[in-house]
Amino acid sequence: MHTRAVGQAAPSASTIDRLYPGVTPAALKFPNPDKRLAYGTAGFRDAAELLESTLLRMGMLAALRSMKTGMAVGIAVTASHNAAGDNGVKLVDPGGGMLERAWEGAAEELANAPPHRLAFALAEEGVALLGGAARDLGELTTPQLHHCVRMANAERGGGPYWGRAEWRGEGGYFKMVASAFAEVRNAGTDGELNLNCGAEHAQKTQRPPAGFVAGRDNGKRCCSLDGDADRLVYHYFDSSGVWHLLDGDKMAALVATFLQEELAAAGLHHRLSMAVVQTAYANGASTAFLKANGIKVAFAATGVKFLHHEALRYDVGVYFEANGHGTVLFKDSAVSTLLSRQVRAAQQARRRKALAVKRLLHVRQLVNQAVGDAFSDILLAEVILRLRKWGLPEWDAMYADLPSRQVRAATALRTARLNAEAHALDPRGRCFVRPSGTEDAVRVYAEAATQGEADALALAALQVRARARVAYGEECEVI
């Protein structure tokens, strides 16, 4: 819903016609409807085409109310829960509440007095005719406008505990609500961080987080983040109670295909380079899918710093580790090209091209350009799913992962982290062993045509390592 907030007005006058000679001619341009309008709890509510004169007059009344109180008041133009053909207008008092009852009669009298354009321009014109200053707040919900008015008037409108200056406006509304939600949501929790939950748990163990169970949670859309919110995976139980994981590889596929489509629609797919950067942990099916769809795949050593560096080589670089850590990077030169194309598309009235450029620029704004950010990645995934009218099953069906297994073996030698990765390829699959970058351990990853073969391949690699390191008394743990 669009809204308008009315600010401080000019001093009042003894007669409107004498000091504001434009009022009567303006009112004559917008005839009254052939019915009497009543101001109720929801203000004036009727068919949109019957409210043009009322909008003009409520702008006048808002200015008068602001003059009277010496504070900002609001005008909400909204059909609320009614059908699209309906509309409505009501005033918001300085305290953020409904219009004072004593003024409702004045509203009815002004709306129904003997002596057309649409919505907000009329309200703004009405405000201006009486010397008021209107400020366009854009599209807000009605409660948000009430909030903005209350915050604009600070203690005078909301009392001594009205709030904080940082809560003013639409941005302040979200800051206020989000911070309160986080505090209430987190208050009193005593669970151990990342214990049997989070992106790492779901991706490495291939199991859902504790508390998310088949049957009760079938069909629910779930995200798992890690403790510092830089990793993200999606997962769900289907109607049969089978758990499905959509990891960083699936995220890369979703994002890259969307960007590919928009670059093509913008006419920039041959001008701007794009690639998905993966590591050896990426499932082979994801790599094959990307290549089959004409998307360049580049490889980097395991570790975010290596992926990020490689992604910077392209105009648009997409990287997501299998564990869900990733983002999308845009070169400055790519942004400059997009801005230039945006101007040309607007001049040529190329709607689809202009829309594609707009989407690409907003993707760049949405995703974190510094590092993987689970919150911005969630928003990116959700907007792509909405545009495609997909749920998680449709996203999951982009390709089927090859069966894989990861195992971990503790090591007593911290210097093992400095050793190089070892890879083995086999017609039945692939396997590699690498030292952990964060623990005193080595990790084994195996991938094959069946789960049994992947398990056997991982175990065989682990046994080879165990025989070579048995003298150190190290333990092996299957994860």
24 and 159: one domain? Answer: yes
Does the annotation count 179 as an active-site position? Answer: no
> Does residue 376 share a domain with residue 265?
yes
Angle at 308 between CA 377 and CA 388, to 5 degrees: 30
Residues 67 and 137 in one domain: yes
Is residue 474 domain-resident?
Answer: yes
Query: 303: domain CATH number?
Result: 3.40.120.10
Describe the strand order of the beta sheet including 404-410 as a list of residue ranges: 422-426, 429-435, 441-448, 404-410, 476-478
The pLDDT of residue 10: 34
Q: What is the pTM of this model?
A: 0.71
The Cα 236–Cα 462 span in angstroms is 31
Of 157, 178, 199, the residue that ends a domain is 178
In a domain, 365, yes or no: yes
Residue 52 to residue 27: CA distance in whole angstroms: 10
Report how far residue 104's alpha carbon sits from residue 97's, in angstroms, rounded to the nearest whole number: 13
**CB-side neighbour CA atoms (13 Å) of 398:** 28
Whether 239 maps to a domain, the answer reads no
428 and 464 together in one domain: yes
| Domain CATH for 6 | 3.40.120
Tell me phi and psi for residue 476, to 5 degrees: -115, 140
Are residue 351 and residue 450 in the same domain, yes or no? no
Residue-range definition of the domain harbouring residue 142: 2-178
Q: Is the domain of 284 the same as that of 371? A: yes
Successive 10-residue mean pLDDT values, the chain, 479 residues: 39 45 75 89 88 88 87 89 84 92 85 61 63 81 89 89 91 90 68 86 90 94 92 96 97 98 96 96 95 97 92 97 95 96 86 94 94 94 97 98 85 47 62 76 87 88 61 42
Environment class of 424 (CB within 10 Å of its CB; exposed 0-12, middle 13-18, buried 19+): middle
Is residue 133 included in any domain, yes or no?
yes
Q: Please identify, among 156, 178, 200, the residue that sits at the C-terminal boundary of a domain.
A: 178
For residues 282 and 156, state if they share a domain. no
- For residues 60 and 105, is the Cβ–Cβ distance under 8 A? no
Residue 193 domain flag: no
Dist. CA 428–CA 301, nearest whole Å: 24
- pLDDT attached to residue 465: 58
Residue where one domain finishes, among candidates 178, 200, 231? 178
Q: Is residue 56 part of a domain?
A: yes
- Residue from 162, 144, 145 nearest 153 by CA: 162
Number of domains in the chain: 3
Residues 11 and 95 in one domain: yes
Is 39 in the same domain as 162? yes
In a domain, 194, yes or no: no
Predicted confidence at residue 340, as pLDDT, reads 94
> Catalytic residue among 66, 80, 273, 336, which?
80
Per-residue pLDDT, 438: 67
Phi, psi values for residue 245, rounded to 5° = -110, 130
- Co-location of 384 and 410 in the same domain: no
**pLDDT for the residue numbered 252:** 98
DSSP 8-state symbol, 282: S
In a domain, 207, yes or no: no
Q: Report the run of H or E that residue 222 belongs to, with start and end.
A: strand 222-225
Residues 116 and 173 in one domain: yes
Claim to verify: residue 270 and residue 387 sit in the same structural domain: yes
User: What pLDDT shows up at residue 318?
Assistant: 98
CA distance 274 to 256: 8
Please report which helix (H) or strand (E) contains residue 429, including its range.
Answer: strand 429-435
